[in-house]
């Protein structure tokens, strides 16, 4: 049983394949956290003690202060001075929040999170629901714990139900609280910006509150919602690591707070700065789903837990089962300068090179000849496509290649027909100027009329057009967040309602165009999150396609997300064959595509690309579904090295890329394929060289020549 309740001690124990999580109901009131770690660890009831200046209830005595014991959920204002997960204001106006334990029940599979993306269930998935109640506001609170046994993942979310007539205002909402018993951790985060996504930061935590967040209405490249805590000595293969994430794509807050006792509180959720919600009588509110995993064997196991979880429960099933197409994307090749004849020629050459799909990027609609106009007008530009979209797409397909198209549904240029017709459909605040970004404004996705309009226009434009792929972009963040469609008391709900509108439209796309895949994007990897992954097959990892930068960007994405989610393009190598080879070897760390002007490529370059696509199709499934092992981290040394292994461990795709800083004669450490069978031999099908399993287990060393663009790729298959 993955979930157990011991009546004597009132202890709930949740177990996954290798981990256990436990809490106790103390005094019939408080859910007290006891344990999260190895399955074999000792779980015992909380031993209460006194700390001066800590508030307590007279009935329980001074050893039971909510400020001291570890909590499963922390409430604001009722004796716990640490950061809170829930703050509610009822009709009496104060924000003191307090709920008492009431009951529990089990659910087979998952509990529904209406309107938000969530992890899918499966045979090994069970949910525990703890119900709490507050007699003052009349609210019920459900805390959900969903156990994904095989992945060593537990997810958490909360649900509030207002049972009375009076409104209750949710002022802060975090999807999970985890109180760890010490403060001996480093915090790992992925920070950055546009063109510079997912730098890896590792810092010891300190007394006080350290957080990552987005106030931008998108999960953002500034901080990815993935983060981890690990012991100070943790490495790829050793040490305790706790990994966290949130199935959400909008503004968020993740906090790590060390208190006076040297305990560490971890929370992630909607926070309070970009969120406030009026819960009317009879209504219910459900938070996004938070994700936790624990590894006793370093970062590698944490990443593999997350990868398994994302492949098994987050990504659409067909995105995991089916090969992802090798696309040729027109953006870096043409920018806005596209038309039918040019792209049909692109399609013809692409098919010859073995690409699966032509993706027509920005510039095909309205007056979109640059980024100052046309956004919002989703009808094909008649000058560029004289016989309409369908006739153009049919011509592309006749070349033997499938077709994808770029859209940015959430945005609008002030210079557009749509804006002229509906200026009130943008996010804005009365009496204040509205900021531009990339010359565009943000549509009010919290307004049902906007969503209905978008469904109508896209249904019309793509009616009968055989589209196989949508690239869904989002190229600015949200400012002056206000909606003309909501009353003043609900204006602080707009960030959250916007996100729900985006999800509704994504869901509609998947239902209306069931044969098309979605690739999401936000100025590159600006919404690289589990929320988006529930709708799309993959995410454009960055607008920065330089392979030297991609080495570290891809490595850090793999901390929390599998390679199947990562769209990686080979961009223009000029006539430099070595550069093309290197770009390819880096790009096959994820899902391959190309982004270059195929009409300008020389015959030798095209011949190499044909070989590459042919080769890639043979081992793509290893990258998409294989287990990932990192052997060298580019943040620590002058090269990156990893391999993907199939389930039977009979095939490995091994990649090593030297950074620009690798000096001539530099020799790597032995790169050990520890999953190799020492009694077998393996053939590298790319070079035809044979290696003994023992040799691979002991590790191969590689020497840098000091020249530019040096990478090794081996596809090792057991004989």
Contact between 60 and 48 (Cβ < 8 Å): no
DSSP-derived secondary structure for 143-176: EEEEEEGGGTEEEEEEEEEE-SSS-EEEEEEEEE
| Span of 17-25, 62-70, 162-170, 516-524 interacting with ligand GLA by CB under 6 A | 516-524
CB nearest ligand GLA: which residue? 362
Q: Is 406 in the site for ligand GLA (CB under 6 A)?
A: yes
| Span of 488-496, 521-529, 692-700, 703-711 interacting with ligand GLA by CB under 6 A | 521-529
Residues 99-128 that bind ligand GLA (CB under 6 A): none
Contact between 483 and 426 (Cβ < 8 Å): no
Burial of 144 (C-beta count, 10 Å sphere; 0-12/13-18/19+): buried
| 166 is an active site residue | no
Contact between 566 and 620 (Cβ < 8 Å): no
- CA gap 718, 696 in Å, rounded: 12
Query: How near is the Cβ of 473 to ligand GLA at its closest, in Å?
Result: 5
Max intra-chain CA distance, the chain: 84
Closest CA to 192 of 435, 653, 524: 524
Q: Which is nearer to ligand GLA, 523 or 536 (CB)?
A: 523
Residues 469-508 that bind ligand GLA (CB under 6 A): 473, 475
- CA gap 338, 363 in Å, rounded: 7
Q: Is 404 in the site for ligand GLA (CB under 6 A)?
A: no
Query: How near is the Cβ of 73 to ligand GLA at its closest, in Å?
Result: 38
Spell out, one character per residue from 303 to 332, where the chain touches ligand GLA: x when CB under 6 A holds, - when not: ----------------------------x-
Query: How near is the Cβ of 438 to ligand GLA at its closest, in Å?
Result: 8
Strands 538-540 and 441-442, by their bridges, are unpaired
| Span of 51-59, 274-282, 457-465, 519-527 interacting with ligand GLA by CB under 6 A | 519-527
Q: Which is nearer to ligand GLA, 70 or 374 (CB)?
A: 374
- CA gap 577, 556 in Å, rounded: 27
Contact between 489 and 105 (Cβ < 8 Å): no
Among 90, 243, 300, 523, binds ligand GLA (CB under 6 A): 523
Q: Which is nearer to ligand GLA, 266 or 411 (CB)?
A: 411
Spell out, one character per residue from 350 to 389, where the chain touches ligand GLA: x when CB under 6 A holds, - when not: -----------xx---------------------------
Contact between 2 and 94 (Cβ < 8 Å): no
Q: Which is nearer to ligand GLA, 439 or 504 (CB)?
A: 439
| Span of 166-174, 377-385, 520-528, 667-675 interacting with ligand GLA by CB under 6 A | 520-528
List Cα–Cα distances, 446 to 161, 498, 502, in angstroms: 22, 4, 8
Contact between 236 and 630 (Cβ < 8 Å): yes
Helix axes 494-512, 448-461, angle to 10 degrees: 20
Q: Is 524 in the site for ligand GLA (CB under 6 A)?
A: yes
Q: Is 540 in the site for ligand GLA (CB under 6 A)?
A: yes
DSSP-derived secondary structure for 48-114: ----TT----TTT-TT--TTTS-BSS-BSSSS--SPPSEEEE-TT-------EEEEEEEEES----T
| 356 is an active site residue | no
Query: How near is the Cβ of 57 to ligand GLA at its closest, in Å?
Result: 54
Closest CA to 102 of 141, 132, 138: 132
Within 10 angstroms of residue 591's Cβ, the number of other Cβ atoms is: 28
- CA gap 234, 299 in Å, rounded: 8
Q: Which is nearer to ligand GLA, 19 or 475 (CB)?
A: 475
Query: How near is the Cβ of 629 to ligand GLA at its closest, in Å?
Result: 30
Query: How near is the Cβ of 372 to ligand GLA at its closest, in Å?
Result: 12
- 614 three-state secondary structure: helix
Query: How near is the Cβ of 336 to ligand GLA at its closest, in Å?
Result: 8
Mapped to the 3 state alphabet, what secondary structure does 636-689 carry? CCCEEEEEEECCCCCEEEEEEEECCCCCCCCECCCECCCCCCCCCEEEECCCCC
Q: What is the size of the binding site for ligand GLA (CB under 6 A)?
A: 11
Q: Which is nearer to ligand GLA, 152 or 362 (CB)?
A: 362
Query: How near is the Cβ of 453 to ligand GLA at its closest, in Å?
Result: 22
Query: How near is the Cβ of 368 to ligand GLA at its closest, in Å?
Result: 9
Closest CA to 497 of 285, 282, 226, 283: 285
- CA gap 451, 55 in Å, rounded: 49
Q: Which of 543, 549, 677, 688 is catalytic?
A: 543
Q: Which of 67, 179, 473, 529 is catalytic?
A: 473
Q: Which is nearer to ligand GLA, 224 or 293 (CB)?
A: 224
Query: How near is the Cβ of 535 to ligand GLA at its closest, in Å?
Result: 17
Q: Is 532 in the site for ligand GLA (CB under 6 A)?
A: no
| Span of 261-269, 517-525, 623-631, 640-648 interacting with ligand GLA by CB under 6 A | 517-525
Q: Which is nearer to ligand GLA, 256 or 442 (CB)?
A: 442
Q: How many helices (H) and strands (E) does the chain have?
A: 13, 36
Q: Which is nearer to ligand GLA, 20 or 566 (CB)?
A: 566
Q: Which is nearer to ligand GLA, 213 or 365 (CB)?
A: 365
Catalytic residue list: 473, 543
Residues that bind ligand GLA (CB under 6 A): 331, 361-362, 406, 473, 475, 521, 523-524, 540, 543
């Amino acid at each position: 049983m993955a979930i157990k309740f011991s009546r004597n001690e009132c202890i709930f124990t949740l177990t996954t394949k290798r981990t256990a999580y436990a809490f106790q109901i103390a005094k019939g009131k408080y859910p007290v956290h006891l344990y999260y770690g190895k399955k074999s660890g000792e779980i015992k009831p909380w031993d209460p003690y006194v700390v001066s200046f800590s508030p307590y209830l007279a009935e329980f005595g001074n050893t039971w202060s909510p400020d001291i014991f570890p909590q499963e959920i922390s409430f604001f204002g009722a004796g716990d001075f640490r950061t809170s997960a829930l703050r509610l204001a009822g009709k009496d106006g104060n924000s003191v929040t307090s709920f008492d334990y009431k009951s529990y029940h089990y659910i087979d599979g998952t509990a529904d999170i209406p309107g938000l993306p969530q992890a899918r269930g499966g045979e090994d998935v069970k949910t525990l629901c703890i119900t709490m109640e507050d007699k003052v506001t009349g609210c019920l609170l459900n805390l959900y714990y969903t156990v994904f046994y095989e992945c060593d993942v537990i997810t958490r979310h909360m649900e509030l139900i207002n049972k009375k007539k009076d409104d209750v205002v949710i002022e802060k909402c975090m999807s999970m609280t985890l109180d760890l018993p010490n403060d001996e951790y480093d915090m790992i985060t992925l920070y950055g910006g546009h063109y510079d996504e997912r730098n890896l930061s590792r810092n010891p935590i300190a007394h006080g509150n350290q957080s990552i967040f987005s106030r931008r209405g998108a999960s953002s490249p500034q901080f990815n919602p993935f983060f981890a805590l690990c012991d100070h000595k943790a490495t790829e293969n050793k040490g305790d690591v706790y990994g966290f994430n949130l199935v959400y794509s909008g503004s968020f807050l993740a906090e790590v707070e060390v208190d006076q006792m040297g305990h560490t509180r971890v929370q992630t959720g909607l926070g309070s700065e970009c969120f406030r919600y009026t819960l009317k009588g009879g209504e219910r509110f459900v938070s996004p789903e938070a994700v936790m995993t624990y590894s006793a064997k370093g970062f590698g196991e944490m990443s593999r837990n997350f990868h398994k979880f994302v492949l098994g429960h987050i990504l659409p099933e067909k995105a995991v089962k089916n090969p992802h197409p090798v696309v040729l994307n027109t953006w870096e090749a043409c920018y806005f300068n596209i038309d039918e004849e040019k792209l049909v020629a692109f399609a013809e050459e692409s098919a010859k090179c073995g690409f699966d799909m032509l993706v027509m990027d920005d510039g095909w609609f309205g007056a979109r000849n640059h980024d100052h106009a046309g956004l919002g007008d989703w009808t094909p530009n008649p000058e560029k496509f004289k016989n309409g979209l369908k006739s153009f797409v049919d011509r592309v397909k006749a070349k033997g290649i499938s077709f994808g198209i770029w859209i940015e549904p959430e945005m609008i240029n002030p210079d557009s027909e749509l804006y002229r017709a509906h200026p009130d459909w943008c996010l804005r605040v009365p009496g204040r100027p509205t900021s531009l970004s990339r010359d565009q404004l943000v549509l009010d996705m919290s307004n049902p009329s906007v969503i209905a309009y978008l469904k109508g226009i896209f249904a019309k434009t793509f009616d009968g057009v055989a589209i196989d792929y949508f690239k869904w972009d989002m190229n600015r963040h949200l400012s002056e967040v206000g909606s003309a469609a909501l009353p003043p008391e609900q204006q602080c709900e707009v960030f959250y309602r916007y996100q729900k509108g985006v999800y509704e439209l994504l869901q509609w796309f998947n239902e209306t165009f069931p044969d098309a895949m979605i690739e999401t994007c936000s100025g590159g990897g600006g919404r690289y999150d589990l929320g988006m992954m529930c709708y799309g097959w993959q995410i454009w990892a960055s607008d920065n396609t330089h392979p030297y930068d991609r080495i570290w960007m891809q490595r850090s994405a793999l901390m929390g997300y599998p390679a199947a989610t990562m769209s990686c393009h080979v961009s223009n190598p000029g006539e430099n064959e070595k550069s093309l080879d290197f770009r390819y070897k880096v790009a096959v760390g994820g899902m391959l595509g190309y982004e270059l002007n195929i009409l300008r490529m020389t015959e030798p370059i095209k011949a190499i690309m044909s070989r590459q696509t042919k080769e890639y199709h043979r081992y793509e499934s290893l990258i998409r579904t294989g287990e990932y092992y990192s052997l060298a981290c580019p943040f620590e040394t002058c090269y990156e090295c990893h391999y993907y292994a199939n389930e039977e461990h009979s095939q490995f795709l091994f990649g090593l890329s030297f950074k620009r800083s690798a000096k001539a004669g530099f020799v790597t450490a032995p790169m050990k394929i520890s999953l190799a069978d020492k009694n077998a031999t393996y053939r590298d099908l790319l070079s035809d060289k044979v290696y003994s399993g023992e040799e691979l287990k002991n590790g191969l060393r590689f020497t840098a020549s000091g020249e530019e663009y040096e990478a090794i790729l081996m596809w090792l298959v057991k004989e």
